[in-house]
Structure 1
Amino acid sequence: MKHFVIIIFLFLSVFSYGQIERIEPPNWWIGFENAELQLLVYGKEVGKAQVGIDYPGVEIEKIHQAKSKNYLFIDLNISAAAKPGIMKISFTDDNKKKEIKEYELKVRTKKAEEFIGFDNSDVLYLITPDRFANADTSNDTFPDLKEKTIDLSNDYARHGGDIKGITAHLDYIDEMGFTAIWPSPLLLNDMPEASYHGYAITDFYQVDPRFGTLEEYKNLADEARKKGLKLLMDQVVNHTGIEHWWMKDLPFGDWINFQERYENGEKPTFSNHRRTVNQDVYASAADKKVLSDGWFVESMPDLNQRNPFMAHYLIQNSIWWIETLGLGGIRQDTYPYPDKQFMSHWAGAIMTEYPNFNIVGEEWSNNPLLIAYWQDGKQNAEGYDSNLRSTMDFAMQSNIVQALNEDESWDKGLIKMYDGLANDFAYASPENIMIFPDNHDMSRIYTQLGEDLTATKMALGYMLVLPRIPQIYYGTEILMNDTAKPGDHGLIRTNFPGGWKGDEINAFKAEGLTEGQLEMQNFLKTVLNYRKDSEAIKSGKTIHFAAQDGVYLLSRISADEKLVVILNKNEEVFNLDLTRFEELGFTGMDFQNLMNKEKITWNTTLELPEKGVYLLSTKMNNQ
């Protein structure tokens, strides 16, 4: 019996030291272009440990100690000879106590080139998960999280929407005609209040349990793929939540920007939001620093991507999620705010591993020059290349809203849409720019257009035929609005009707909607499903004619398809002289109106009976 006790003691002393709390990334794969992997290890006084790995094809290149004794950073080289399996990493302290952690190297289930990113053949459906559908009430609250309650009456509280809620309504999303899904961040936001939006991440490797589990996230990706829907991930490398686990024990003195102020209990320096300093040849170093280093808000510490360990961490985290979920794209939040050299490196590292992938960056600017600067292929004066294929077209969005709200004159109204699109010469590839009527940070398009259904249909009809990648925010199809309090983020992100048990209106089933809501839903469904098979929209030539007499015409032309969108602001019957558009070569061709299926022959005039959008196609088999 004595011997048995001694054996147990030795086993515990060797294998149950139990100080390692985290190893991140939590696993990795063999077969990447970049054979290097840097592990972040966190545990009590792990910085003093001796590290050992005995696994064929894997070598420790270097071990880095941090300022905090509770971190180690381990550089590994995973050669082509490495096989998938479980490797054991040993940590031995000064007292010869040893802890062994198992670390899995997986085989990649898809080839790198099979990760196909979104493009201009897609239409993205943007979802705020907490407000879309609550399919699992068992995960609504957790006593160990800081925000503990569900309150449907509070626009800034948790409402209970979850991953299963999105998965349960993939049929609706698919049947509407969307081809990609962009949920706002689903990772842990363990913040004391207003944590529902997801942009204050407190653990980059953990799904927020109020949204669901990692397995449910994977299942969403799998079920979406079965329907031909790509899944995007909304990521944030600029900042984190103040309650992130590492904020209580930062590894280095420069892990976050203005760290000394944080550690001294002072208010942080906030960003000046002068995003032009990224391009401005006259910008001061002081202004540049405050943009990139300043905190977005007080509850969101600004990450220092110039710290090489932070840079490795963020790049590996993005790749881990791409591989884990089989993503079809990334949307990167607040793109101009981090260090711009890092952002080029980050995007370049991803595109090197996944050459057919795509990333869209948020540049909230109405200046096309700033938007163009960030797109891969742009010949910038100082030689900067972002490696970013897509950025967001806030400029064109603004032009469209102004054009539809203004009375017509030589420099107002529809001419602003014409002039806005004319700026496409600034872009390296305008077809990879993302256009949208609204999103989770701005008033709903129905509100922006004064709750005018006709104008809303004009905006959507026009956007969906542009040489762009369109994104539609959930609820736009049923005229969700924030007119009661324009611009209020909580109201913008209203619950989707039908997503909660007991909802009297169910938009998923088109039950209880008003006549206007049904009209908008059917309009969008028709255009989206037509767009799926339209070569003219995906790759056709674009020709438009300056707005005149309250009418603006744009055409998309491919070998076998001619598509015309006409925006008409005349309240009375208007006879459009078609001889002005003779260069299109449409004379004598038969077209069909996508909405009412009426057939017309393109001759000398076209009667426009009322204000609105007219979508005419030579494809006679449209939906």
Structure 2
Amino acid sequence: MRQWFALCLALLFTTSAAARGYAIQHLEPANWWVGMQHDRVELLVHGPGIAALQPRVDWPGVAVADVARVENANYLFVTLAIAADAKPGRFPIDFMEGERIAVRHDWALEAREAGSAQRHGFDASDAIYLVTPDRFANADPGNDSAPGMQEHGNRADPNGRHGGDITGLRQHLDYIAGLGFTQIWPTPLLENNQPAYSYHGYAITDLYRTDPRFGSNEDYRALSREARAHGLGLIMDVVLNHVGSQHWWLRDPPTRDWFNHPYFDRADRFVETNHRRTTVQDPHAAPADKALFTDGWFVKAMPDLNQRNPHLARYLIQNTLWWIEYAGLSGIREDTFGYADADFLSAWGAAVLAEYPDFAMVGEEWSANPAIVAHWQRGKVNPDGHVPHMPSMMDFPLHIALRTALLQPEGGDYGWVGLYEMLANDFLYPDPDRLVVFAENHDTPRALAHFNGDIALWKLAIAWIATVRGTPQFYYGSEVLLQGPRERNDGELRADMPGGWAGDARDAFTGTGLTDAQRDAQDYVRALFNWRKRTPVVQHGKLQHFAPENGVYVYFRYDGKDTVMVALNRNPEATPLALDRLGDFIGKDSRARDALTGKAVTLGTALSLPGTSATILEIE
């Protein structure tokens, strides 16, 4: 009888709620974990008229600590306080209308994975393989298009969705690990329900959902778990600056200041960022220019978020923590880093490192000026008082200097000297060894295209990123000489990986149909990065370089025990390298071995360097 009465009561409450139109459309995050440093979780609750209700929780160790209402009555911000001894489990949050339950929504509190807080992120001992997932491998053609997703698969369109997915990544983890890489960085895998250009992932429309054309949240977690089994960490590409124009927030924003320059103020107005990243530090910058940099939209399809709103700031911080814990991440690459509010970036970074002290994060600040990039790295003392917490930054200054050096004529201040002098700017960084170095990425023409198809120059660039200080990042497919256009065209430079689609004539994964040049390039990458993987001195040793002479740039990695010499020869012809200048590292009795072949190398008084080549020697 009592059970029947309870059932009738529940039906009555449900009918009452429906009659008033109460329903929860979004409640984020949908769960949390016991034992987190971040133990006060603010839930974003969205539904028609939900602000009229009062939340109630009855679960051991969990209490409603605060309820905030904003100008939009369709939102509640509910803070749950979670005690250290809270009981994991699934329980209801009741939203009360007086003494009656108007809406009931289940929420989960979970136990953390053992050692989660102590996870070790990537560092200079790692090498990162960057993937555009839509273009890597299509293991499940059935999800090329998905119900409710506006853009369908169309491999014939360079700017369309080609069908690569998480399952495709999972099937080729052994290939990536076999090349010598230890980390995978996929460009964003979260939902991008945009009408076009949705494949790249940077116009996110749901920050808690994997795009169904890639797979599910559970697939994402399986990717991380299986990657670890292959000795690979998973780096998530996080976007804090903006969302996609089809995000549901645009249809019903919580507050008028949730976005910068919102469309719902003036539908005909698009305010674009000026991209003047120097304004963040420039003591002479006009305030209007500084505000336009951070508050302007990146592009029309990516509305700019206002992280000065405290509810949005907490939402973004919690979203990052949620994915680290849920997916077992080993690192984060943060997109368009300097475009977000500087105070928020400091708070975000501090919150992540408070939860995971040994975690790894790298920020994107696309500047050729190392002073601009150094501003954002943890430990930098800035004149403007900004306190950064980002452990690493993408080394765009070296990236640009490398690509410039290899195309300039040698001599004077040109060629290798530009790269040599850019590396000398390491005194600006608090920790240059934590920077991520790269010859290309998903936003640049591929290095091979930049070098006009010159494979020898491409090898020099890859040898540089593998042996210089920092953590190297490599872009998928370059090992089989994917080239693309010399001028930036995103859809074409992010080409399909050969063998990632059924029926491909060439297969990078098995070697079927590859040309001799492709096989040679793949073998070079495999030998180079596997050698780096087993050679600690190249990962963590000190670096000393010698001023370039006669088209040759020489530097050493050393640690008091082991020494590696790298000699990069730009000249098309064989070039002698006098060794007396290198006496601190090479004596008359020194012997050497080629790092990649293992063959003994005679040193003597001079060393003949093959034309346009990298000579890498282990000094004995």
Shorter chain as denominator, the TM-score bin is over 0.9
Letter in 2 for 1:36: R
CA deviation profile, 1:427-481 (whole Å, cap 9, x unmatched): 1111111110100111000011111111110111011111111100101111111
Relative distance call for 1:97 and 1:154 in structure 2 (3 A) is same
The answer to whether structure 1 residue 12 and structure 2 residue 11 are counterparts is: yes
Quote the offset at 1:113 in angstroms: 4.0
Letter in 1 for 2:511: A
The answer to whether structure 1 residue 519 and structure 2 residue 523 are counterparts is: no
* Structure 2 match to 1:145: 149
Secondary structure at 1:606 match in 2: strand
Find the aligned partners of 1:553 and 1:381 in 2 and give their Cα distance: 36
Find the aligned partners of 1:201 and 1:571 in 2 and give their Cα distance: 47
* Structure 1 match to 2:481: 479
* Structure 2 match to 1:464: 466
Find the aligned partners of 2:302 and 2:31 in 1 and give their Cα distance: 27
CA deviation profile, 1:359-380 (whole Å, cap 9, x unmatched): 1000000001111111001121
* Structure 2 match to 1:609: 610
The answer to whether structure 1 residue 410 and structure 2 residue 409 are counterparts is: no
**219-228 or 105-114, larger mean C-alpha shift:** 105-114
Quote the offset at 1:44 in angstroms: 1.7
* Structure 1 match to 2:450: 448
* Structure 2 match to 1:230: 233
* Structure 2 match to 1:54: 58
Secondary structure at 1:464 match in 2: helix
**307-316 or 515-524, larger mean C-alpha shift:** 515-524
The answer to whether structure 1 residue 203 and structure 2 residue 202 are counterparts is: no
CA deviation profile, 1:313-345 (whole Å, cap 9, x unmatched): 000000000000110000000000010110010
Quote the offset at 1:583 in angstroms: 1.6
Find the aligned partners of 1:300 and 1:194 in 2 and give their Cα distance: 12
Whether the aligned pair in 1 keeps the contact of 2:363 and 2:393 (CA below 8 Å) is yes
* Structure 2 match to 1:597: 598
Quote the offset at 1:143 in angstroms: 3.6
CA deviation profile, 1:2-45 (whole Å, cap 9, x unmatched): x9998755321225646112210010011112321101111121
Letter in 1 for 2:223: L
Find the aligned partners of 2:163 and 2:521 in 1 and give their Cα distance: 27
CA deviation profile, 1:402-434 (whole Å, cap 9, x unmatched): 111111112111111211111111111111111
Find the aligned partners of 1:306 and 1:186 in 2 and give their Cα distance: 26
Whether the aligned pair in 2 keeps the contact of 1:588 and 1:601 (CA below 8 Å) is no
**1:288-437 correspondence to structure 2 within 5 Å:** 288-437=290-439
Quote the offset at 1:131 in angstroms: 0.3
Relative distance call for 1:109 and 1:585 in structure 2 (3 A) is same
* Structure 1 match to 2:258: 255
Secondary structure at 2:107 match in 1: strand
Find the aligned partners of 1:203 and 1:594 in 2 and give their Cα distance: 47
The answer to whether structure 1 residue 244 and structure 2 residue 282 are counterparts is: no
Secondary structure at 2:79 match in 1: strand
Letter in 2 for 1:120: A
Unaligned runs of 5+ in 1: none
**1:575-590 correspondence to structure 2 within 5 Å:** 575-590=576-591
Quote the offset at 1:518 in angstroms: 1.4
Of residues 170, 174, 177, the one that matches 2:173 is 170
Find the aligned partners of 1:491 and 1:190 in 2 and give their Cα distance: 22
**324-333 or 373-382, larger mean C-alpha shift:** 373-382
* Structure 2 match to 1:537: 538
Quote the offset at 1:594 in angstroms: 2.8
Once superposed, what is the RMSD of the aligned Cα atoms?
A: 1.8
Whether the aligned pair in 1 keeps the contact of 2:169 and 2:223 (CA below 8 Å) is yes
Whether the aligned pair in 2 keeps the contact of 1:46 and 1:71 (CA below 8 Å) is yes
Find the aligned partners of 2:490 and 2:36 in 1 and give their Cα distance: 40
* Structure 1 match to 2:40: 36
Quote the offset at 1:232 in angstroms: 0.3
Whether the aligned pair in 1 keeps the contact of 2:569 and 2:610 (CA below 8 Å) is no
Find the aligned partners of 1:616 and 1:168 in 2 and give their Cα distance: 35
Quote the offset at 1:216 in angstroms: 0.9
Secondary structure at 1:63 match in 2: strand
Letter in 2 for 1:608: L
Q: Which runs of 4+ in 1 moved over 4 A?
A: 3-9
CA deviation profile, 1:140-172 (whole Å, cap 9, x unmatched): 11242111x221111111100000000000000
* Structure 2 match to 1:181: 184
Find the aligned partners of 1:111 and 1:7 in 2 and give their Cα distance: 42
Secondary structure at 1:583 match in 2: coil
Find the aligned partners of 1:543 and 1:6 in 2 and give their Cα distance: 80
Secondary structure at 2:174 match in 1: helix
Find the aligned partners of 2:518 and 2:30 in 1 and give their Cα distance: 46
Find the aligned partners of 2:3 and 2:37 in 1 and give their Cα distance: 50
Quote the offset at 1:569 in angstroms: 2.0
Whether the aligned pair in 1 keeps the contact of 2:154 and 2:161 (CA below 8 Å) is yes
Relative distance call for 1:79 and 1:7 in structure 2 (3 A) is closer
Secondary structure at 1:603 match in 2: coil
Quote the offset at 1:174 in angstroms: 0.4
Find the aligned partners of 1:594 and 1:242 in 2 and give their Cα distance: 50
Find the aligned partners of 2:170 and 2:351 in 1 and give their Cα distance: 30
User: What's the TM-score, normalizing by structure 1?
Assistant: 0.96
Quote the offset at 1:529 in angstroms: 0.3
Of residues 106, 109, 118, the one that matches 1:102 is 106
**1:485-524 correspondence to structure 2 within 5 Å:** 486-524=487-525
Find the aligned partners of 1:4 and 1:419 in 2 and give their Cα distance: 79
Secondary structure at 1:502 match in 2: coil
Relative distance call for 1:524 and 1:51 in structure 2 (3 A) is same
Whether the aligned pair in 2 keeps the contact of 1:180 and 1:229 (CA below 8 Å) is yes
Quote the offset at 1:520 in angstroms: 1.2
Whether the aligned pair in 2 keeps the contact of 1:406 and 1:413 (CA below 8 Å) is yes
Letter in 1 for 2:199: Y
Percent sequence identity over aligned pairs: 41
**113-122 or 524-533, larger mean C-alpha shift:** 113-122
Relative distance call for 1:115 and 1:276 in structure 2 (3 A) is same
Secondary structure at 2:278 match in 1: helix
Find the aligned partners of 1:153 and 1:333 in 2 and give their Cα distance: 28
Find the aligned partners of 1:30 and 1:199 in 2 and give their Cα distance: 31
User: What's the TM-score, normalizing by structure 2?
Assistant: 0.96
CA deviation profile, 1:374-408 (whole Å, cap 9, x unmatched): 10011211232210000011111111111111111
Letter in 1 for 2:323: W
Secondary structure at 1:133 match in 2: coil
Letter in 1 for 2:505: E
CA deviation profile, 1:73-103 (whole Å, cap 9, x unmatched): 0112112231212232111236935322221
Letter in 2 for 1:513: L
Whether the aligned pair in 1 keeps the contact of 2:34 and 2:85 (CA below 8 Å) is no
Secondary structure at 1:206 match in 2: strand
**57-66 or 214-223, larger mean C-alpha shift:** 57-66
* Structure 2 match to 1:117: 121
Letter in 2 for 1:228: G
Letter in 2 for 1:427: Y
Whether the aligned pair in 2 keeps the contact of 1:112 and 1:355 (CA below 8 Å) is no
